[in-house]
Structure 1
Amino acid sequence: MNSQEDKLCRRGMTVGLRGAGISTACIARQLDLTKITVRLVPKVLIIVVGSIGHLSLGMAQTWPNTLASHLMTDNTTLLGTHLNVSNTQLDWMGSVFYVTMTSFLLFAGVIVARIGRRLSLLCSCLPLALGWLLFAFAFSPEMILAGRCVVGVGASLLVIGGRAYMSEIATTNIRGLAIAFMELMKGLGLMMMAGLGVVLPWYHISFVNIGVLSLFSTGLLLIFPESPNYLAVHGKEMEALSILRRLRSSKEDAEEELRQLKHLNQCRNGSSGWAVLLTYDNIKRLAVVCGLLFIRSFTGTELIKVNVARMMQSSGVLLDANVSSFIVMSVVLCAVLAMTGLVDRLGRRRCLIISLAVMAVVYSVLGAITYLIPPPVLTDLDTAIPPVNISHTVYETNIK
């Protein structure tokens, strides 16, 4: 909505409301509320559509669970052949995704900075779709491992591009919610994979993911503008200003944000990205972030997500592996829902401290049960204490 349309809209609403006998103060409040709503709708739409890709990311993380649970009863592939997978190969199918994703993250950051956030997200759909096609038509473990590597490359582009885009499009008051919503969609993807595993064979689930990626890429093409930060840094200031005017609450806010972006760009004095990154202040920030990521990576939560079906089977739970996976992934989704509601109220630091503190207690209990108490002979689900602790551990980690 441009300034002329905004004036006409306000004038028409004012005349109509005065005709209805509404006071001037109420009219002013109603006009402000309407203006905020009009500005908020595009941002909400972008956040929702931009998070759809994380459905596929969540499903990719836990797809080995579905594969392992199905192979316990039927190892037939889409092509009618039989797939024989060892435990070691199943371990690699879970791990190689994270190895590839982590290895490519640095290159993904360079790509996102060079070609832009929107195009990077579009490019991420290609390796993700190719990986899912490899899963669908796989007739050997090696083909699945290759697909996991390809999906890991796409996931790195999706994670870097998505987080950069959301943090730049959203205003400060909803930025935490925007990032948390991406995690919410990923948690929903975890639960969807477990739920689909109950009703569909592992190779048919691949086509569901390709459909999700098609929806995501269509939304990128039809709805997504390029990040105004990227446009401003690359000298396309008029395009950046046009996008900011559609997304910010007022023309003045948009122009002020563009001025700040231009100022930050000028402070670089033509330095390369690495030169700006390797400053004392940025190194301190990076050290804190890397430390937190190191702690998160070694909590074991990702390992639990990938191998929960086999862990449940080993613990003696007399429940279908897909159903038990669905229960644990539902706990993940509940944790992300809690985080979505708390992150902007309590703040990032408090949520992180609470999560780490409770997780330390839960892991201590899990460790005590696992290593200090002799494993019981499980005869029914009520005696399965370790999986309960696993669920609590996953919950506390994902509240971050």
Structure 2
Amino acid sequence: MSFSDDPVVLKTADGIQQEPSRERRIRLLKQIGLFFMTTLGPLNFGMGLSWVNTIASDFEHDNTTLFGNELQLHNWQFDMMSSLVFIGTLPGFLIGGYLVARFGRRKSMMLIIPPCMAGWLFVALATNAIMILVGRFISGFAYALVVVSVRTYLSEISDKEIRGAAILSAECMKSMGAILIVALGMIGTWYYAAFFCVCEILFFGIAVLPFLPESPTFLTVTGKDEKAMKVLKRLRGKYIDVEGEMCNLKEANERGDGNNGWSALLKPDVMKKCLIVFGLFLISNFSGTEVIKANAVRMLQTSGLSFDSEVSTIIIFVLLLAGNLCQALLVDRIGRKKCLILSLILLLTAYVILGTYVFLESTGNFETEVGEARTENPWNWVPTACLLVCAFSSSLGIGPTPWMLAVEYFPTSIRSQVMSVCTFFGSLMSFASLQVYSPLQYALTPAGLYWSYASFAGIGIIYTIFIVHETKGVNVG
């Protein structure tokens, strides 16, 4: 994200004027305020993804519900708590694509509130595993609407010079939500954390959404020029040629073959870009990005934990947030591809070291005996350190970038529809990677699983260099 002091030269109907640097900074700060308010939805998404860590930590010493009965959960049920969120997103993405295109970005965000509250209430009031699993599925449906509406909205209200950072603000808030829910789990129970999530999403619906403007590009493309002009003046300032930008938007959304909306998805140029995004989602999920978020506690437990699991989990999610913030600072400067390559190189290195450590530790290579006593392993900090690097590097590029390109590769007239299809595939991959976590750990051993993640990261480097298209500074319509 850049706040250059150089004045920005913009053409207006009266000629060429300069936007003073001070006014530009104030205008961009107002946009950032809009980003923050909008991303209170993704904040709840982040809490939902990481909530499994809270209940997993609680069940180490207390498995009672709000009503005092004991709740027995198996490993496959913990897997389902994570993966059912992504199963729920599958119909949600397809329906969300229609709603966002038909009713607009802001109204679609309002539709998030009822299912999200219902999902969390099922979890908070659960007396058995089925209620929790049902609640997780419903929450997943709501989160699909969050992804399609919020990310589309952020890309369309921001200046193109900070568009990457704007889209990444949703990912930053997801990471903050993940940290917040684990912290709440340290001072309360898993069901009180769920009640907090109910209150948070209700606040988003009542105190934020009614005051957000509609996307100006959506208004322009749907022929609501007068409303679009007012919003554009508010977002871009008085030095912009509003009519010129609106004309450019309309031209960018006019396909030469006359196909717009869902029918455009079958055209070769659109399908090619979809396949590129599909490949990134595959690489992202099978290099462990979602697994780390949902199973940080369990990964630490099976890797040779060096200190308290909740503290380690908090640190991991702080590193996830740090990676998001670093990418937000870099993505509009060095571009999407370079962030991806840097991210995957770090992931590859960390997973190779982690897998090697876990393999050597499992074969007793770190155990030494002094008389009848065994000495403490001096390398027990390695698994936590490697997972911290994995968390940071995944959020530096390969985690959020597929979601970003699913927005940026397509113009407004087909953006929500194509994004819903791309993210539908992304959720399928997330479900698959989360659901096979325990089986793969058993089949490959933990070391083999980490080496498989490293292999996908290596493939991702080659894929990014030769296949992925850069969108830095490009007008995406």
TM-score by length of 1: 0.86
Aligned match for 1:89, one of 77, 80, 83: 77
Which ranges in structure 2 are unaligned for 5 or more consecutive residues? 1-16, 368-374, 398-477
Calculate the aligned-residue CA RMSD, in Å. Answer: 2.3
1:173 is paired with a residue whose SS is helix
**What aligned pairs does 1:1-400 form with structure 2 within 5 A after superposition?**
32-250=20-238, 252-267=240-255, 271-317=259-305, 319-371=307-359, 374=363, 376=366, 379=376, 383-400=380-397
Aligned counterparts of 1:379 and 1:314: Cα–Cα separation in 2: 18
Shift in CA distance, 342/34, structure 1 to aligned 2, threshold 3 Å: closer
User: In the TM superposition, what is the alpha-carbon distance from 1:334 to its structure 2 partner?
Assistant: 1.6
Residues 306 and 381, structure 2, Cα contact 8 Å, conserved in 1: no
Which ranges in structure 1 are unaligned for 5 or more consecutive residues? 1-27
User: In the TM superposition, what is the alpha-carbon distance from 1:270 to its structure 2 partner?
Assistant: 5.9
Using the TM superposition, name which of 303-312 and 214-223 deviates more: 214-223
Shift in CA distance, 37/117, structure 1 to aligned 2, threshold 3 Å: same
Shift in CA distance, 265/306, structure 1 to aligned 2, threshold 3 Å: closer
Aligned to 2:422: none
Q: Which amino acid aligns with 1:64?
A: V
Using the TM superposition, name which of 188-197 and 248-257 deviates more: 248-257
User: In the TM superposition, what is the alpha-carbon distance from 1:132 to its structure 2 partner?
Assistant: 1.0
Q: Which amino acid aligns with 1:134?
A: F
Aligned counterparts of 1:268 and 1:100: Cα–Cα separation in 2: 36
Q: Deviations over 1:148-188 (max 9, x none)?
A: 10010011110111110000010101111111221111111
Using the TM superposition, name which of 249-258 and 109-118 deviates more: 249-258
- The structure showing larger relative contact order (alpha-carbon pairs under 8 Å, at least 6 residues apart) is 2
Q: Deviations over 1:304-359 (max 9, x none)?
A: 22111122223342643322211211221121121121112211111111111221
Aligned counterparts of 1:320 and 1:380: Cα–Cα separation in 2: 17
Residues 312 and 384, structure 2, Cα contact 8 Å, conserved in 1: no
Residues 306 and 380, structure 2, Cα contact 8 Å, conserved in 1: no
Aligned counterparts of 1:34 and 1:310: Cα–Cα separation in 2: 49
1:114 is paired with a residue whose SS is helix
Using the TM superposition, name which of 178-187 and 321-330 deviates more: 321-330
User: In the TM superposition, what is the alpha-carbon distance from 1:259 to its structure 2 partner?
Assistant: 0.9
Q: Deviations over 1:71-119 (max 9, x none)?
A: 1111121122221112221111121112222453233222211121111
Q: Deviations over 1:251-307 (max 9, x none)?
A: 643222211222244446763412223222222222211111111111112112211
Shift in CA distance, 379/91, structure 1 to aligned 2, threshold 3 Å: farther
1:399 is paired with a residue whose SS is helix
Which has more helix, going by share of residues? Answer: 1
TM-score by length of 2: 0.73
Residues 268 and 276, structure 1, Cα contact 8 Å, conserved in 2: no
User: In the TM superposition, what is the alpha-carbon distance from 1:200 to its structure 2 partner?
Assistant: 1.1
Q: Which amino acid aligns with 1:216?
A: F
Aligned counterparts of 2:147 and 2:304: Cα–Cα separation in 1: 36
1:206 is paired with a residue whose SS is helix
1:120 is paired with a residue whose SS is helix
Residues 46 and 223, structure 1, Cα contact 8 Å, conserved in 2: no
Shift in CA distance, 306/73, structure 1 to aligned 2, threshold 3 Å: same
